[in-house]
Structure 1
Amino acid sequence: MKIKYLLSALATVAFAQNSFAQYAQDALRFSTFQPGATARIRGIGNAGTAVGGDLSSIGNNPAGLGFFTRSEFSFTPEYNGSNVKSSYLGNNMSDKRSAVNLSNASIVFHSRVNSARGADKSKGLLSFNFGVGYNRTNNFYENITYGGQNGGNSVANYYANLANANSVPKEELPQEGTLQGIAYDQRLIDLYNSSNSYQSNVRGSVAQLSNTMRTGGQSEFNLAFGLNSSNKVYIGGSVGISSLRYNSINTFTETGTASLFENGNDVNRNFTSDFIRDQSTSGSGINVKLGMILRPVESLRIGALFTSPTWYNIDDSYSEGISTQFDNIRPVSDRQNYDFSYNLRTPLKLAGGLAYFFGKYGFISGDVEYVDYSSAKLSFNGDRDDNTEIRRDYKSVVNSRVGAEARLADSFFLRGGYGFMGNPLKNGGADMNTVSGGLGYRFQNYSLDATYTHVKTSGTVRPYDIGPATPIANLNNRFSNVYLTLGVRF
């Protein structure tokens, strides 16, 4: 990691980011992506490992490209709606956010191999198809708001703990440019000779309000091939060029009363203070996928997929600061910036799937996927313990997806699906559950598919860390997404 500031400042950042942007948490955030897909595959719960013949194969199991008998193009815009309900110190709140993005754009070029006149069209290598696709694999868009009345502690206790943890001698001021130094300069903490330690100047109950705005996502550009051997064995591979962008702005506002030492006396003054933390992260990476689909009989397909780790190069910019105003005194603000570069290796993934086709009437499909999140690895130009935290706090999971498609008429299709994404945390956290449903219409060389998905999960967040007394906000996240795919064969 490229360090532009003193190691003591770096230690402060690592501690300050414990509940907000710690690198071990970002390693998990950027490792939980899923394959991008068309509305059709989204409609069956993303259970497409063994289905084949869909442009989602470019970003999922490339062996599925071997099922194409014509060239095809499609694009899929998506609508994302986020609703986060919070509970903090007995107070309930909620916040929403929505965005429109491009979910998928793909094209496959069909090429027959065994095309000689009189040749057996059912044996040997029959086709070699090449695909190019863009997939959005993760969305970070959401707003999170929580707040309440805290009669037990203040964020100023956190600043004081920072000063005391760094063993600042009582005859010295906290280091300039650190968070505790900013808090001292703004009179939120002070040194009390009776205890020989820094303490909070805040007295009594305080009103607290946190607002976080997150944007960005992950995407992948894939170059893939799929071949068909005797209509029985389908093999494919792809190279994925990944990119990520994550932005988070958090403002934690506290309003209350502080006791200040002025002119030899303790004076109580009303105050409002904002603890501001911003993160901007971007990166690019590469991965490889190898897949196979076997069709032992006409109605059954068995799929397998290996997805290598994604090797990311990441640039991270983090800043934190405090802005405080006492009574009608002009507010004082200060901020410190920290810029780092590091490498991330996400976990590899192993997936298997089955799909059973009922002739022309439809099919059912199911997938299982294994991911060991504790195998993610961060690489820095420096000595850090984030990988120890990854191994300590994360675990392996088995994700599952199931779905079905039914032909209602010659050109109309009905789809439904369910997805389960296991909780990667050893302690706390929650599973993620997705329910989906969709419709499809085929006419001549064109197709139109629409899908709605509803995602539920939950979690906790800490505005600051002061040990067992740290206040905790409980979050219930709901995401509503709509996908629309337009396709054409040529």
Structure 2
Amino acid sequence: MKLKYLLSVIAIVALTQNSFAQYSQDAIRFSQTTTGSTSRIKAVGNAGTAIGGDLSNVTGNPAGLGFFTSSEFSITPEFNGAKTNSTYFGQSNSANSNKVNLNNAAVVIYNQLSKPRGADKSKGWLSVNYGVAYSRNSNFNQNIRYSGTNGSNSINSFFASQGNQYGIGSGSLAGWAYDQNLIDAYNLNTTPPSSEYRANNVGSTAQEAIINRTGGQSAVDFSIGGNYSNKLYLGLALSFTDLRYNSYSTFYEDGALSVLEGGIPANRDFTSAYSQNQLTQGTGFSARLGVIYKPTEAVRLGAVFTSPTFYNIDDIYYEGLASKVGNNNQIQNTSDDYQLNYNMRTPLKLAGGASVFIKSFGFITGDVEYVDYSKTRISSGNNYDADLLDNPDIKSLYKSAINAHIGAEARISSFFLLRGGYGIQGDARKDNGSDIKTVSGGVGLRFGAYYVDATYAHSSGTQNVFPYDIGNNNPAAMLKNTNNNGYLTLGYRF
């Protein structure tokens, strides 16, 4: 995150704040969500816009609540197995993270509307049903490790660039690097004479990054859906979101430095570790409007409008630099906590889909969703100017994307159902990333009023990450992220 609180009263804070990681990256991270749902909908590729009558409608298309003819409850725990394979300067590594979460829990209360005696009970408003659900909409749990030998540059070059841009004031990152002999002032052959800060590195450096991320986004939804003449179904939902994201990263280097000892240059081995830690939490609010229409008994057409989510976010960031040069003792510096409260607006979403039901044999369903991530906005405050870099970065680095899903369910018998699906989550980045593709499959078992659904989903995508920014020739690690998720839904109709 690039901490840019404009606190002019403390020079060191201002210097450090302009040096680091970007809120624009967090804004997009928090805008990319996948609605928590039942195992049934997960199995059909998360293509639930036009299905109706599933508890996922509480958190998806609320119009689907109008299909319920009885009350229902379900709970869906999830196993998430995340793996990140990395390639950095030709060297491969991998890291894993396994977590068990509650993905979805929902209840729908069926409310049949009364009709006057003698009225056609198949016409007009037939029912208005209510739903409440908890869902986990994104999972930030991830461990990343990459390493290799960099013969072109060093993170010390980044520290030097900070010194050239902001100086080496006491307590600044460049000041720490200067005090630890990682960078130095070199005279330039100019008129008048001048100098610049440069890295003291000699030869190649061994580099390694270790990143641990935890947290996620979850929501509590309150939905209402009505059935008009078994043809038109309308719904409204209000969603209250909770956000938690923690990131702990350390970048290590081993190599050699040219340092002055008694005024004479000498090459000495060194090790360094630069740590950045971020703790973020927030709350948000959004709304959804949904519709499903049945032109024939076998066909359902659905659409959902999801408003932007309006977040209020608290962020804490702190960093540290430690190094050991030659036989000298280790030197370590750490910052105070940099705290910021800000508001963020995610982009709105538009989704449309269709389902075709083949009598009692099952259905085929698909939907698409449009999201323009470049419309994400961060609000400036008294001590933070979001329009300085972050909002322009969002507009220039990110783009619109299409999320597409398709799936099918086959009723093998009255007891057993088989499902499969495929989904694509469009990449928000203009460069250095790929779509996330998911293949899923599952089964369903029916026991009268009780049911059990199980689903397995495998997703994968790639991205390039840059450990530091020196303008040109930035080193990049290529990451391939894969998730192997298992979902189990236990449900009861009453």
TM bracket, shorter-chain basis: over 0.9
**Percent identity over paired residues:** 49
State how far apart, in whole Å, the 2-side matches of 1:473 and 1:460 are: 6
> Residue 253 of structure 2 corresponds to which residue in structure 1?
254
Contact 1:286 1:312 in 2 (8 A): yes
**Would the alpha carbon gap of residues 14 and 439 (structure 1) be closer, same or farther in structure 2, given more than 3 Å must change?**
farther
Alpha-carbon distance in structure 1 between the residues aligned to 2:409 and 2:341: 45
What is the identity, as a one-letter code, of the residue corresponding to 1:332? I
What is the one-letter code of the residue matched to 2:287? V
**Matching of residue 391 in structure 1 with residue 385 in structure 2:** no
Aligned to 1:308: 307
Q: Distance in 1 between matches of 2:11 and 2:268?
A: 35
Structure 1 stretch displaced more, 433-442 or 328-337? 328-337
Q: CA deviation at 1:279?
A: 0.9
The 5-angstrom pairing of residues 1-80 of structure 1 reads 6=10, 9-10=13-14, 12-17=16-21, 22-80=22-80
Q: Determine if contact 1:44/1:403 at 8 Å carries over to the other structure.
A: yes
Unaligned runs of 5+ in 2: 190-194
Match of 1:458 among 439, 456, 462: 462
Which letter does structure 2 place at the counterpart of 1:292?
A: V
Aligned equivalent of 1:364: 364
Judge conservation of contact 1:3–1:340 (CA < 8 Å) in 2.
no
Provide the C-alpha distance between the structure 1 equivalents of 2:169 and 2:136, rounded to a whole number of angstroms.
Answer: 44
TM-score (normalised: structure 2): 0.94
User: Could you say if the C-alpha distance between residues 7 and 75 of structure 1 is closer, same or farther in structure 2, counting changes exceeding 3 Å?
Assistant: farther
Q: 2:429 aligns with which of 420, 425, 430?
A: 425
Q: Aligned partners of 1:185 and 1:340: how far apart in 2?
A: 29
Residue deviations 1:126-161 (CA, integer Å, cap 9, x gap): 111010000100001111110011111111111001
Amino acid at match of 2:141: Y
Aligned-partner residue type, residue 362 of structure 1? G
C-alpha distance after superposition, 1:398-417 (max 9, x if no partner): 21100000001111110000
Equivalent residue in structure 1 for 2:443, among 439, 442, 451: 439
Work out whether 1:96 is the aligned partner of 2:96.
yes
**Cα pair distance change 1:287/1:467, threshold 3 Å:** same
Alignment of 1:145-156 (within 5 A): 145-156=145-156
Q: Any conservation in 2 of the 1:273–1:324 contact (CA below 8 Å)? A: yes
Corresponding residue of 1:171: none
Q: For 1:430 and 1:14, how far apart are their aligned partners in 2?
A: 29
Hey, what's the Cα distance between the residues in 1 that align with 2:317 and 2:181? 24
Structure 1: where are the runs of 5+ without partners? 169-173
* Number of residue pairs the alignment of both structures matches: 480
CA distance in 2 between partners of 1:440 and 1:52 (Å): 17
- Deviation for aligned residue 1:322: 0.5
Q: For residue 312 of structure 1, give the secondary structure of its aligned residue in structure 2.
A: strand
TM-score using structure 1 length: 0.95
Q: 2:34 is matched by which residue type in structure 1? A: Q
**Partner residue in 1 for 2:297:** 298
**Secondary structure in structure 1 of the residue aligned to 2:374:** helix
Secondary structure of 2:472's partner? helix
**Is the 1:146–1:211 contact (alpha carbons within 8 Å) kept by the matching residues of 2?**
yes
Evaluate the alpha carbon distance shift between residue 139 and residue 7 of structure 1 in structure 2; reply closer, same or farther with a 3 A threshold.
Answer: farther
Amino acid at match of 1:488: Y
Give 1:10 deviation, angstroms: 4.0
Query: Is the contact between residue 114 and residue 125 of structure 1 (CA under 8 Å) also seen in structure 2?
Result: no
Paired letter, 1:309: P
Q: Structure 2: how far apart are the matches of 1:177 and 1:239?
A: 46
Alpha-carbon RMSD across the aligned residues, in angstroms, is 1.5
What's the CA shift for 1:428?
2.6
Alignment map for 1:263-412 (pairs within 5 Å)? 263-336=262-335, 337-381=337-381, 382-383=384-385, 384-412=388-416
CA contact (8 A) 1:241 1:284 kept: yes
Shift of 1:425: 1.6
Paired letter, 1:397: A
**d(CA) in 2 for partners of 1:332 and 1:205?**
22
Contact map agreement 1:182 1:321 (CA 8 A) in 2: no
